[in-house]
Amino acid sequence: MQLSSHKKYSGAIVLGDSFNNTLGLIRSIGEAHVPVCLILEGNDRLFISHSRYVTECYHINTLDDAPALLADLYNTHQNYALICSNDKAALLVDSNEATLSALYHTPMRGKALHHLFDKDAQCALAEKCGFTVPQSAIYTRGNSFPTEIQYPLLIKPANSNCGEKSDIHICRDTTDLNKALSANSICETFIVQEFIEKDYEINMIGISTDREVIVPGGIKKLRHYPNINGPCSFGRFMPAESLGVDIEPIRRFITESEYRGPFSVELLRKGNNDYFMEFNFRHDGLAYSATASGANLMKGFFGTAPIGKVRPTYMMDLSVDFMHVKHKHISFVRWIGDFIRTGCQLNFNIKDPRPTLNYYKAKLLRN
């Protein structure tokens, strides 16, 4: 897809933490030849700041310190786009849209997503836009549990910022449900969904600009760790048409939300049907695989060049995926074969090796 080469922004301010999401975002922006100013939350795992693509880096103790820092940076970063790499950063920016949109190009241009961070609101809009959505209901601790959802069912935080991955449970009977709800958790409100016995998961990766919504492809997830609900450790980025995903509902959803920036859509594939799970209004942790496949969405967002064409590309989270060998889920020989055919390592990048080298150097020194 060809885009205008007009460059609208002077650079990018990336707000996030020191994980793959942020590192992949920095690399994609850097490969689009756009300056990166990094605001990194926390004082641990600062290896990401060593990326060759980071032109400036600021460390903050908590995200609450970000608005004041962003205000201080305004004089020298007036024409920068503000992009988030995790849910908490996206929520903070959304909560401060009125102020931050006067300083930078923000995801909502002064408006706010508000309730669309909640999965029940997402499901309602998704159904309106043409997605197939599993039967869902909201449950808040202390209230009666919804009886309209039959077992097996899935419970997960209604808002990703108010829970953890450990709060996601598949419940096949009341014993499983009671065990899930009695587990140690800070989550108070859950979305309860009909459980779909999926064939596999798909993450569609896209970007929304002032001109259009671009969804070149997605990741067919082939392995997860630590379990079926864990993050994807091995998968393949493929063109949208090869995956057979209808992208029109995605475009309608993003258009309705008025969001601008990187996003992903989580789907479950069962037979010929795709079931909507959720939208992520920020850069996805697996999204660098799009760039590695030849389709750098940041080129489209910043208008520096055409995004490029997708080449089917295997991606791997090396340190996590090797746990499948350690726990004898797959053979070492099979894993080596997968490693050899992998064109995108989420951790290590030969063009930008210093973050990974500094991470393992620090790890060795601690041990």
pLDDT per position as a tens digit, 217-254: 999 999 999 876 678 999 999 999 999 999 999 999 99
User: CA torsion 51→57→62→68, rounded to 10°?
Assistant: -150
Residue 44 has what pLDDT?
62
203 and 265 co-located in one domain: yes
Q: In this structure, what CATH number is given to the domain that contains residue 149?
A: 3.30.1490
Q: Measured in whole angstroms, how far is the alpha carbon of residue 210 from the centre of its chain?
A: 21
For residue 365, being part of any structural domain is answered with no
- For the cut 90, the answer to whether the pLDDT of residue 24 exceeds it is yes
Q: Which of 163, 179, 194 is the last residue of a domain?
A: 194
State the average pLDDT for the chain: 90
1 confidence band (pLDDT: 50, 70, 90): very low
For residue 39, being part of any structural domain is answered with yes
- For the cut 70, the answer to whether the pLDDT of residue 6 exceeds it is no
- Contact of 80 with 104, CB cutoff 8 Å: yes
- For the cut 80, the answer to whether the pLDDT of residue 45 exceeds it is no
For residue 367, being part of any structural domain is answered with no
For residue 126, being part of any structural domain is answered with no
Higher per-residue confidence, 289 vs 141:
289
Q: Which of 194, 210, 239 is the last residue of a domain?
A: 194
95 and 215 co-located in one domain: yes
Residue 347 has what pLDDT?
85
- Contact of 156 with 165, CB cutoff 8 Å: no
105 and 190 co-located in one domain: no
Considering the chain, what percentage of its residues have pLDDT values greater than 90? 67
249 and 301 co-located in one domain: yes
163 and 305 co-located in one domain: no
307 confidence band (pLDDT: 50, 70, 90): very high
332 and 288 co-located in one domain: yes
- For the cut 60, the answer to whether the pLDDT of residue 94 exceeds it is yes
- For the cut 50, the answer to whether the pLDDT of residue 108 exceeds it is yes
101 and 216 co-located in one domain: yes
pLDDT tens by residue, 163-185: 777 788 888 999 988 888 888 88
For residue 366, being part of any structural domain is answered with no
Residue 166 has what pLDDT?
79
User: CA torsion 335→337→339→344, rounded to 10°?
Assistant: -130
pTM: 0.89
User: What one-character DSSP code corresponds to residue 350?
Assistant: T
Higher per-residue confidence, 108 vs 46:
108
User: What one-character DSSP code corresponds to residue 131?
Assistant: -
For residue 364, being part of any structural domain is answered with no
Higher per-residue confidence, 314 vs 43:
314
Q: Token pair of 117, please?
A: 């961070």
- Contact of 202 with 274, CB cutoff 8 Å: yes
pLDDT tens by residue, 259-285: 999 999 999 999 999 999 999 999 999
168 and 307 co-located in one domain: no
Q: Which helix (H) or strand (E) holds 206?
A: strand 200-208
One-letter amino acid for residue 352 of the chain: D
What is the C-alpha to C-alpha distance for residues 220 and 267, in angstroms, rounded to an integer? 10
Q: Which helix (H) or strand (E) holds 193?
A: strand 189-194
DSSP letters along 164-175, please?
A: -GGG-EEESSHH
Residue 17 to residues 8, 33, 109, 118, 121, Cα–Cα distance (Å): 26, 22, 23, 22, 27
224 and 351 co-located in one domain: yes
For residue 130, being part of any structural domain is answered with no
Structural domain boundaries enclosing 106:
11-115+199-357
For residue 244, being part of any structural domain is answered with yes
- For the cut 60, the answer to whether the pLDDT of residue 2 exceeds it is no
Among 72, 66, 61, residue whose Cα is nearest residue 103: 72
Residue 82 has what pLDDT?
97
186 confidence band (pLDDT: 50, 70, 90): confident
Helix 87-95 and helix 66-73: axis angle, to 10°?
A: 70
Average pLDDT over residues 341-349: 93
219 and 344 co-located in one domain: yes
Q: In this structure, what CATH number is given to the domain that contains residue 310?
A: 3.30.470.20
- Contact of 342 with 315, CB cutoff 8 Å: yes
pLDDT tens by residue, 356-367: 888 777 767 766
Cα angle 66, 70, 72 (rounded to 5 degrees) comes to: 120
Q: Which of 167, 194, 221 is the last residue of a domain?
A: 194
Average pLDDT over residues 199-207: 96
227 and 315 co-located in one domain: yes
- For the cut 70, the answer to whether the pLDDT of residue 5 exceeds it is no
62 confidence band (pLDDT: 50, 70, 90): very high
24 and 153 co-located in one domain: no
Residue 46 has what pLDDT?
67
Domain total of the chain: 2
Residue 222 has what pLDDT?
96
Residue 114 has what pLDDT?
86
Average pLDDT over residues 5-11: 68
- For the cut 90, the answer to whether the pLDDT of residue 86 exceeds it is yes
